[in-house]
Amino acid sequence: MRLSTQGQRVLGCLVEKALATPDHYPLSLNALRTACNQTTGRDPVVDFDDDDVRAGLDDLKAHQLVKSEYARGSRVPKAAHRLEEQLDLDVAEQTVLGLLLLRGPQTPGELRSRAGRMHTFASIEAVEQILERLATHRFGAMVEQRPREPGRRETRWAHRLGDAPDAVVSGDGPPAAAAPDGGRYRAFHDAVLTGDLDAAVAQLADDVVFRSPAVHRPYQGRDVTARLLRTVATVFEDFRYLDVLDAGDRAGLVFEARIGDRQLQGWDYLRFDDRGRIVELTVMVRPLSGLQALAAAMEAALRR
How many C-beta neighbours within 10 Å does residue 170 have? 14
* Predicted local confidence at residue 171, as pLDDT: 41
| Rounded to 5°, angle at Cα 45 from 40 and 46 | 130
Question: CB-side exposure of 51: number of CA atoms within 13 Å?
Answer: 5
Pairing state between β 204-211 and 278-286: parallel
Instruction: Give strand ranges (E) for 195-259.
Output: 204-211, 219-220, 237-246, 250-259
The CA distance from 87 to 73, in Å, is 31
Phi, psi of 250 (to 5 degrees): -140, 150
The CA-based diameter of the chain, rounded to the nearest angstrom, is: 72
* Predicted local confidence at residue 147, as pLDDT: 87
Burial class (CB in 10 A: 0-12, 13-18, 19+), 252: middle
The closest of 81, 124, 77 to 101, measured between CA atoms, is 81
Give the 3-state secondary structure of residue 184: coil
Type of residue at 79: A
Q: Which domains does the chain show, CATH number per domain?
A: 5-168 (1.10.10.10), 180-303 (3.10.450.50)
pLDDT tens across 77-120, in order? 899 999 999 999 999 999 999 999 999 999 998 899 889 889 99
The CA distance from 96 to 17, in Å, is 14
The CA distance from 163 to 62, in Å, is 17
Confidence of residue 11 (pLDDT cuts 50, 70, 90): very high
pLDDT tens across 198-255, in order? 888 999 999 999 999 988 889 999 999 999 999 998 899 888 888 888 888 899 999 9
Confidence of residue 176 (pLDDT cuts 50, 70, 90): very low
The CA distance from 253 to 84, in Å, is 33
* Predicted local confidence at residue 65, as pLDDT: 97
* Predicted local confidence at residue 246, as pLDDT: 86
157 in Cβ contact with 100 (< 8 Å): yes
Type of residue at 266: G
**pLDDT for 35 beyond 90:** yes
* Predicted local confidence at residue 195, as pLDDT: 80
* Predicted local confidence at residue 129, as pLDDT: 97
Sign of CA dihedral 214, 215, 216, 219: negative
Predicted model pTM = 0.59
133 in Cβ contact with 117 (< 8 Å): no
Mean residue pLDDT across the chain: 88
Residues 209-248, buried b or exposed e (16+ Cβ, 10 A)?
bbebbeeeeebeebeebbebbebbeebbeebbbbbbebee
